[in-house]
Amino acid sequence: MDLNFTPEERRWQEEVRAFARAEVAPFARQWDETEQVSREHIQKLADFGLFGLVIPEEYGGHGRTPLDALLAVEAVAESCGISGRLVVDHNFGPTGLLLHYGSPEQKARWLPAIARGEVLTSICITEPEHGSDANLMETTLTPDRGGGYRLNGHKRWITGAGERELYVVFTRFGQTPGANGIGCVLVPADSPGVENGPREPTLGLRGIREAELLFHDVPIAPDQVLLPAGPGSFGKLMRAYNGQRVGAAMVATGIASAALQAALAYAQERHQFDRPIADFQAIQFRLADMAILRDAARLLCYRAIQSGDPPERYPASVCKTFAAEAAIAITNSALQVFGGNGYSRNYPIERLLRDARMFTLGGGTVEIQRMGIAHVLLSGQG
């Protein structure tokens, strides 16, 4: 693992950080309160070049490395977790699946538009009855008479559902049970038979719509199949999804960094017993513990992104688990440093704590990550 970032990598992250502080941070509270982010803002992220960072230039992207993309995610998430997640989705996750498994035609059709911010994309795995046990999903693709297919199913917890143009949908192909029956198709949101289900009222990261999606006999042409089902297909899809996990871990870490910075400033401003509260060792140790956790999370993210493209399962699951739990601990500690003000919506900490809470759940829970880590350890590959 190379932790000696090049001057260019450092400069890039500083550029993104400066952009995010000016163009993103001032709106983060408003997006939480109104529970929406305008398309105009999303376009600003794309115009700055934050979408399609890892997409090769021949497909309209910026041809940067996954590490560059992760550094951008960190810099954006320090200003706003929601915007950090948008950057993740349009470099890793659904975009990563297209990049790794798309045909040249599929890439040419979708990737340039993703990089330009014209097409936003979501990944659709979870169902009402199948979350952690996604290999039992019931959404099904069946052949129709014209040589194509029909898609039927019900997805839940789809980030951006109803507001994005392209859905990357995991589905069972025919009746084959278990993981061997699962592949993936590309579904434009305006396809006939795609129905937007209800929005989830969420605790945090409230500017992004989390909602259900229903597919009723949606026609799928053969060229919409991203990866057909078969032995190994589900594993390949999940391997590409590791990029999303590392990206999510970095968003959690960016949120934690924001909480640490806020707590550091507050501890030096707030006086009690005629002294700044930063003079008290109890506060100092709390700040130190927050920094230790944040630094470790950050390093695990950097390690994971450099483990392969897409990243390896073990480092991805380790960083996702650690960073998600660290972000909750750090934001919770920051709230304590703020005292009663930490509990007030007039200060940013309660929002950061609510935002941080998501990462032990979305992208596979920490329990499922631990199962994956243990599997690797017990098979002697850890």
Ligand X SMILES: Cc1cc2nc3c(=O)[nH]c(=O)nc-3n(C[C@H](O)[C@H](O)[C@H](O)COP(=O)(O)OP(=O)(O)OC[C@H]3O[C@@H](n4cnc5c(N)ncnc54)[C@H](O)[C@@H]3O)c2cc1C
Interatomic CA distance for residues 248 and 13, integer angstroms: 17
Look up residue 76 and give its amino acid.
V
Paired with 346 in beta bridges are none
Write out the residues near ligand X by the rule CB under 6 A: 122-126, 131-132, 157-159, 210, 358, 361-365, 367-368
Interatomic CA distance for residues 360 and 1, integer angstroms: 25
Establish whether the linkage from the previous residue to 310 is cis, with ω within 30° of 0.
Answer: yes
State which residue, 348 or 363, has the beta carbon closest to ligand X.
363
| CB of 78 vs ligand X, minimal distance in Å | 20
Interatomic CA distance for residues 93 and 103, integer angstroms: 17
State which residue, 241 or 338, has the beta carbon closest to ligand X.
241
| CB of 19 vs ligand X, minimal distance in Å | 25
| CB of 361 vs ligand X, minimal distance in Å | 4
State which residue, 322 or 338, has the beta carbon closest to ligand X.
322
| CB of 97 vs ligand X, minimal distance in Å | 12
State which residue, 306 or 331, has the beta carbon closest to ligand X.
331
Interatomic CA distance for residues 114 and 58, integer angstroms: 13
**To which H or E segment does residue 275 belong?**
strand 275-276
Interatomic CA distance for residues 370 and 375, integer angstroms: 8
| CB of 362 vs ligand X, minimal distance in Å | 3
Give the residue closest to ligand X by C-beta.
Answer: 131
Interatomic CA distance for residues 245 and 319, integer angstroms: 8
State which residue, 159 or 233, has the beta carbon closest to ligand X.
159
| CB of 75 vs ligand X, minimal distance in Å | 22
> Do residues 61 and 53 lie in contact, with contact meaning Cβ atoms separated by under 8 Å?
yes
Residue 113, helix vs strand vs coil: helix
State which residue, 76 or 208, has the beta carbon closest to ligand X.
208
